[in-house]
Each structure stands twice: as structure tokens, then as C-alpha cells.
Amino acid sequence: MSEQSNNTGFATNAIHFAYDAQQEQGALNPPLHLSSTYTFESAEHGADLFAGNAQGHFYSRISNPTLDILEKRIACLEGAQSGLSFASGMGAISATMWTLLQSGDEVLADITLYGCTYAFMQHGLSKFGVSVKFVDMTDTDALASAITPRTKLVYFETPANPNMRIVDIQTVCSLARDAGAISIVDNTYATPYLTQPIALGADLVIHSATKYLGGHGDLVAGLLVGSTDLVNQVRVEGLKDMTGACMSPFTAMLIMRGLKTLELRMQRHSQSAQTVAQYLTDHSAVKHVYYPGLVEHPQHELAKKQMRLFGGMIAFELNGGLESGKALMNELKMIQRAVSLGDAESLIQHPASMTHAAYTPEQRAAHGISDTLVRFSVGLESVADILNDFDQAFSACHEPSTGSLMAKDKAVIRNQTLDQLRSVRHLTDCV
């Protein structure tokens, strides 16, 4: 399995690709190469390595044999030529942008972005003379008219964090290509098991491996894949000289352990999310559910086209105001209140009372975050227990002591038996 094969399946590649146990004394798992530096055979060998005339490792900020396996594996899973690892998703994003941009350039980014990516573009890049225009990339006419000869990069997430908008990868990347711009897709929410943007025309794909790729909430890491030319450029400029945000071999080992179950986990996350999304849709406490697997999602057809399954992330809006979100957060028992996503544990967060509590309601509105928006990362627990936790929390929110939450009919909720909920159409029926 050390050679790339187009004939092996996703899960097989996620488990075996780029590693041959027989080369490592039969060790089933790749060894951890905990070496900061690498010895040269001779002075001439050292010179050749530094000049790029010989292949090999010389310092672990630039490359490392353990990271090498992970980088080849993620490139294989994404259908890309090369991969590169970083200390965090933001490390990957900043190293890539700093490599590809210079003062006077312009970036076009989608209006919905992960908060720190938005901050990096809005406040970080502007300090260095790079301008960033935010456009609604679900509106390809708006995008086409926003691209100018100065546009160097086109950047988006799909599904977008946190409102689950879907961007048409093929259309946007071909517009970028025609304009001579490099397209970058943040594939954190979908993972390569659900979507492979490179095959749809993307130049580079970025991951916060902290999320589904690691999958167990025990690491922070980033990955980049794309053409060998572009990835090498980011390695020797953005990573080596600008950010130095290299991944530790120990983290690479944990990500490779996570990748072994990525297919299984994404299937279960997606299946449970479909059930939970349906439950929330039918619940009178809930005003709106954003999940691409629901036929009501305005881009359901596009999601079906570019996603194998619909993933484990749901956003929803409650009836009531900010207090209704707070009350729900505080009544949940098994579901954990936390940022991040893609873990075995179900994680919930209410931006208006938690991550964005310091914003004014006007500022939140400008960022598309309503006071009742809730983001839910559906975990791998028994789905009945996830539904039960929502049920008991919604019921508790009814009590006058927790405020005038949702004007809903208790009897309706009681009649929604878990049996009915379990019989909702599963994901496999709609892809």
C-alpha cells in the first residue's frame, strides 16, 4: 500500500496509504520520528539537500518522516498531488495566504467564514496592504462581477460555518480559474469523505484537522493539499520562513489514528444529524433548521451533487429571543456546551450568549448571527440519547422559572415519540 492506487477504496487508503510495515521492522503503526534534525552523509550531501538537488529531511520545521506519511495520506484522500501539515487550521490558512499574496493584491472571500479566518482576512491581511472583498458566493453573478484583474485568491467554505450555506465548488472554482485567481476551499465541515474539491476544480484545500480528521477532540492541527508546485511553495515560504507553524509528529500520529475511522464516523455523524435535523424541524420550539440533508434546505440539490453524505453539523434558530438560546444551553445534560466540532461528543454552542456575547446585537446581525441561532455538532452517541436530551431540555425550558421561552404545545412534543423519530428517513435514502 505504499504506492498510490486508484483502485483502493477511501477507507483502505485512510488506513494503509503511504506506509509499508515491512520497511519498519513490521511495526503495524508508523513509528514516531522525534528528531528535530537529520544528519548529512557528507558536506556535499548537506549542500545538495539545501540546494534542493537531493531529496531528504534536514530539519523538522520543514519536513519530518512521520508527517510525510500523513501528508501523503491526506493528499491521497483528497485526490491531490501533495499535502502539508501545520500546527493548527489557522496556521495552514495564514501560511498559505502569506505565501501567495503580496501588497496590492486582492482576496475575494465568501460572506460566511469561520470567525478567526474572517478576523485574519479583515484585520490581519489589511495591515499588509492586501484588500479583501466579501461576496455572497452562492450568487455566482455577484461573484463574477466582483472578480477583478487584481484578484489573486478566491476563498470559501462549504458547508459554511456556522449557517450551513453550500457554495457550488465547480462553478466558483472555474470562475476563479478563468480570472487567473487561485481558489482555496476550506473543507473542514465536509471532510474528503463527503466532498473532494480538487476533483471539482479547486486549486488548494485547507483543513482544520482539529475537527473531524482528528475526530476525538484531543489535538489542534491543520492540513493543506493541492498541486506539488503550490504546496512546496507554501512549505518553503509560509511554513518555513513566515509562520513556522509546524505540526508535531505526535499530533500526526493522532490524526492518522483518527483517519482510520473517518469513513465510519462520517457515516454515523451524517445519519444521526439527519435524524436530529428532522426532530428539530418538527419541534415547535424551533423556528428554522439549517441542514443540507433536509429537502427544505434551499441548496439541497446542490448539496446532493457535491456531497456524498450531508455531514454532522446542524444550525438552527429557536422561537423566542436571546434568553431562549441561553435557557436551552443551560438545560442540556449530556450534550456538552463547547466550541469546536467533529468530536465523538455532541457539542453545542449559542453564539449570542457565548462566543459572540461581547458583540452588540447590531454587530451580530451584521455577521448573520441571530440571537437565537444555535450551532450543533452531532456526536457519535446513541441518537436516541441525543434526542432525549433535547426533549428534556425543551420541556424544562417551559417552566416559568427559566423564562418565557418557546410558545409551544407540550402535548405535541410528548406525542412525538422517539419511535416516530427513529423512523425518519435516513441519509442513505436521499443521496
Ligand X SMILES: *Cc1c(COP(=O)(O)O)cnc(C)c1O
Residues acting as catalytic residues: 61, 114, 186, 211
Cα separation values, 192 from 90, 205, 213, 270, 315, Å: 19, 10, 9, 14, 21
Decide whether 89 or 320 has the Cβ nearer to ligand X. Answer: 89
Longest dimension (CA), the chain: 81
Nearer to ligand X, 188 or 278 (CB): 188
Determine phi and psi for 273, rounding to 5 degrees.
-60, -40
Burial class (CB in 10 A: 0-12, 13-18, 19+), 419: exposed
Residue 63 engages ligand X in binding (rule: CB under 6 A) = no
Instruction: Give the Cα separation of 258 and 340 in Å (integer).
Output: 16
Binding residue (CB under 6 A) for ligand X from 210, 272, 274, 370: 210
What dihedral angle (degrees, nearest 10) is formed by the CA atoms of 60, 65, 69, 72? Answer: 70
Among 90, 95, 147, 198, binds ligand X (CB under 6 A): 90
89 touches ligand X (CB under 6 A): yes
CB 128 within 8 A of CB 83: no
Q: Single out the segment in contact with ligand X by CB under 6 A; choices: 50-58, 75-83, 186-194, 375-383.
A: 186-194
Cβ closest to ligand X, residue 208 vs residue 270? 208
Residues between 143 and 172 with contacts to ligand X, criterion CB under 6 A: 157, 161
Provide the Cα torsion 378, 380, 383, 387; round to 10°.
Answer: -40
Q: How many residues bind ligand X (CB under 6 A)?
A: 16
Asked whether position 222 contacts ligand X by CB under 6 A, the answer is yes
Residue 108-137 contact track with ligand X, rule CB under 6 A, x = bound: ------x-xx--------------------
Cβ distance to ligand X smaller for residue 116 or 430: 116
Is residue 208 a contact point for ligand X (CB under 6 A)?
yes
Site for ligand X in 250-279 (CB under 6 A): none
Contacts 24+ apart (CB under 8 A), 136-139: 136/110, 136/111, 137/110, 137/111, 137/167, 137/168, 137/172, 138/165, 138/166, 138/167, 138/168, 138/299
Answer for which of 188, 251, 299, 370 binds ligand X (CB under 6 A) is: 188
| Span of 122-130, 194-202, 208-216, 311-319 interacting with ligand X by CB under 6 A | 208-216
Do β-strands 373-377 and 347-349 pair in parallel, antiparallel, or remain unpaired? Answer: antiparallel
Which residue number has the CB closest to ligand X? 89
Q: Which residues bind ligand X (CB under 6 A)?
A: 88-90, 114, 116-117, 157, 161, 186, 188-189, 208, 210-211, 220, 222
